[in-house]
Structure 1
Amino acid sequence: MKLRFFTLIALFGFLNLQGQEYYFPERNADWEVKSPKNFKIKDGALKDAVDFAEANEYSGSRDLRIAIIKNFEKEPFHKILGPTKKRGGPAGMILKNGYVVAQWGDTKRVDMTFSVTKSFLSTMAGLAEDEGIISDTKNLVGDYIWDGTFDGSHNSKITWEHLLQQNSAWSGELWGGKDWADRPPSEGGIDDWKLAAPKEPGAVMEYNDVRVNVLAYSLTHVWRKPMPLVLKEKIMDKIDASSTWRWFGYDDAWTEIDGLQMKSVTGGGHSGAGIFISAEDMARFGMLFLNDGKWKNERLISENWIKKATTPSTPNVNYGYMWWLNKKGARHWEGLSENIYYAAGFGGNFIVIDKEHDLVVVTRWLEPDKVGEFMAKVNAAF
């Protein structure tokens, strides 16, 4: 009996040590690098993946104002409403157990990250649920936001989950953006889009920044403070991120809460704004999710939230709570684990979480339609 008891103690001790295998870099410290051979990773195959990323730079202009206007030129009334920034070249990091096993480009450079911002915004909702500010994401948003944003027979049906899964079909206008004019269908014209009846909430996923910005606006009101402040205090300071990241809203996106003027941020950058951040700070955010919501031994996000955020939505198996999921569907990366999930942004910005290989992969300015091929090359190194 004694032998079994001590064997169990030894086993649990081993498991605890295994749980602490991840390396977490200190603030402003050089990120520790390890040879791929330390983890039995094929050095040549990993180099092929990096070479591929460097050779397949996003084809749009490095002047992102030009790239944005060109890419969204078919949207009626589209214009730049918030800050933009000229971008750098391809950059990225591949972390195994938190250690850098490959990197390329300028990983400290701050660039726009576009819809990667959505995964940060989703996390603000997760923190709100973890702290009881929102009881449950299945609650109606109109029970929390009573200023008219969720009035009417249609918008009153919308839940937090609908907004997080981008299937709310919220109808209206915010900060000069009209829901029907944001990424309109390929067919039809202004009258067709404008007069079309909104779809039932929860029925169809539609990628739509106006509706995402409605979520940011709503979270600002329930937190009663700007989202960048919540992100800084609850996440970025705790994960020892740099002081260089910024989260912008549109120039005119001001709202009053408790007598104070606050900027309501965006969940993307296709009209400017969103999160401007370095690859290294993106990697820190990725490490937090790889470690199931804990930074070192401190829990910042509940495991329950991460599970909810990475559960497929009914209308789109590849989308959870503003995280893309590698399930077998329209956006499946063939040959790669279905448990992979990732944040994705315009221009080839990605934070990929691969729990099965204890990997975080960050790419900047990789041609977006090449990311599946790139990840297959990374996978081939294992």
Structure 2
Amino acid sequence: MPVNKLALVLICKLSVFPKEEFSMFEQFQQRISDLPNGQPEDYAMDRQYLDNIEGIAEKWKLEDVVIVRSGAVVWKWHKQGSDRATPIFSCTKSILSALTGIAISEGLFTLDDPVEDHLEEWAERARQTEPRKSDITVRHLLTMTAGLDWPEFDKPYFKMKKGKDWLHYIAKQPLTHEPSHTFAYNSGCSHLLSAIITKRTGKSALEYGRSRLFDQLGIQTVEWNEQEGVSEGGTGMQMTASDMAKFGLLYLQGGKWGSEQLIHPEWIEQSTSAHNKGLLHYQPPLYGNYAFHWWVSDAETNGWCDYYFALGYGGQYLFIVPEHNLVAVIRKQVEGRNNALLSRRLLHEYVAPALL
């Protein structure tokens, strides 16, 4: 085993994640522009349920739906007639999680490294307000348990965006809880992760992602906002629905794409396993337990099966359902936070019943 992968195994201390076999998909080239297409009936799905999506698309203000099963696109629909790169909002966080895992596998930093070890200027400012901020680690950033005062669904994020020095803004936020004790949704944590990647690689997260992930997946149209050379950690990415589906399929396959292992399977397992309750009890049920910048839903809670997902503001969802070899991208017009529930209802009321 290469040294960098062995290091990740020792860090994570996890059992090996079982690899899904997709022999049909592995016959295709590693770097492809489009996923193979298939018919629903050839992949044990009822076309009628899927075709019914078009009937409610306008009412629910859907923009894109892409359904992938066993490595093939079995159904897709685009309001504009074609797939376009549009903002994916906080789905950006899950892609940042993948890049963090890749950087860790390369030995650039570890989960339990203090943030101050990599961001000296941030650390100096943070310690001026609260010495205990020295205890904040990479793991705390990923699980959003840094303990910083960041209330009301990321409200400070909008204040941060108006400023010129985002790292300074994050550093001066009060510490209201001991790190690791309390979940608080915080795009500031995500931006610190992006800054660490830039510090350790000398590249923005976008540039690093192109060299380690996007090019390998054939993702060419991705864009990502930057602030002083640092990709915006919590949001700011634009991507097509089909490219989101490819990213989801990579996770479904345990980090493997063709013959390349792009993300270590240990990271796939750990980063998509619940580490705290997140916003599990929020109503309406948009969210779930929280992992490493992924949301997790269990069968007992959702009444169907275990799955995990990326979620962007207004109803931009990427669902990965390992039990059914399924990836679903559902994007809709932004109408506010709670109307995002329609995208999740689509998964449960139209996609799930189509599975045979």
Q: Give the TM-score normalised by the residue count of structure 2.
A: 0.76
Larger deviation: 42-51 or 112-121?
42-51
Alignment map for 1:62-101 (pairs within 5 Å): 90-101=63-74
Residues 309-356 of structure 1: CA distance to partner in whole angstroms, max 9, x if unpaired? 012113537110001101368xx4x22212x11111012111111111
Instruction: Check conservation: 1:351, 1:360, Cα contact below 8 A.
Output: yes
Alignment map for 1:15-26 (pairs within 5 Å): 18-22=21-25
**Aligned pair partner of 2:144 in 161, 166, 186:** 166
Length, aligned pairs only: 302
User: What is the aligned partner in structure 2 of residue 358 from structure 1?
Assistant: 325
The CA deviation at 1:235 is 0.3
Task: Tell me which amino acid in the other structure corresponds to 1:296.
Answer: G
Q: How many angstroms apart in 2 are the aligned matches of 1:368 and 1:54?
A: 14
Alignment map for 1:1-382 (pairs within 5 Å): 18-22=21-25, 29=33, 31-57=35-61, 90-105=63-78, 106-134=81-109, 136-149=110-123, 151=127, 152-170=130-148, 198-241=176-219, 243-249=220-226, 253-254=227-228, 263-269=229-235, 274-316=236-278, 318-327=289-298, 332=301, 334-338=302-306, 340-365=307-332, 367-376=339-348, 377-382=350-355
Q: How many angstroms apart in 2 are the aligned matches of 1:138 and 1:121?
A: 17
Larger of the two Rg values belongs to structure? 1
Instruction: Check conservation: 1:124, 1:231, Cα contact below 8 A.
Output: yes
2:208 alignment partner, SS class:
helix
Q: How many angstroms apart in 2 are the aligned matches of 1:362 and 1:195?
A: 35
Cα distance change of structure 1 residues 120 and 36 upon mapping to structure 2, 3 Å threshold: same
Of Structure 1 and Structure 2, the greater helix share is in: 2
2:213 alignment partner, SS class:
helix
Cα distance change of structure 1 residues 37 and 315 upon mapping to structure 2, 3 Å threshold: closer
Cα distance change of structure 1 residues 148 and 208 upon mapping to structure 2, 3 Å threshold: closer
The CA deviation at 1:111 is 0.5
Q: How many angstroms apart in 2 are the aligned matches of 1:21 and 1:239?
A: 17
Q: Give the TM-score normalised by the residue count of structure 1.
A: 0.71
The CA deviation at 1:154 is 2.5
Residues 2-22 of structure 1: CA distance to partner in whole angstroms, max 9, x if unpaired? xxxxxxxxxxxxxx9954233
The CA deviation at 1:40 is 2.4
Structure 2: gaps (5+ residues):
1-18, 161-171, 281-288, 334-338
Instruction: Check conservation: 1:227, 1:265, Cα contact below 8 A.
Output: yes
User: What is the aligned partner in structure 2 of residue 11 from structure 1?
Assistant: none
Q: How many angstroms apart in 1 are the aligned matches of 2:30 and 2:103?
A: 27
Structure 1: gaps (5+ residues):
1-15, 58-88, 183-193, 255-262
Give the fraction of aligned pairs with identical amino acids, expressed as a percent: 27
Q: How many angstroms apart in 2 are the aligned matches of 1:145 and 1:268?
A: 18
2:134 alignment partner, SS class:
helix
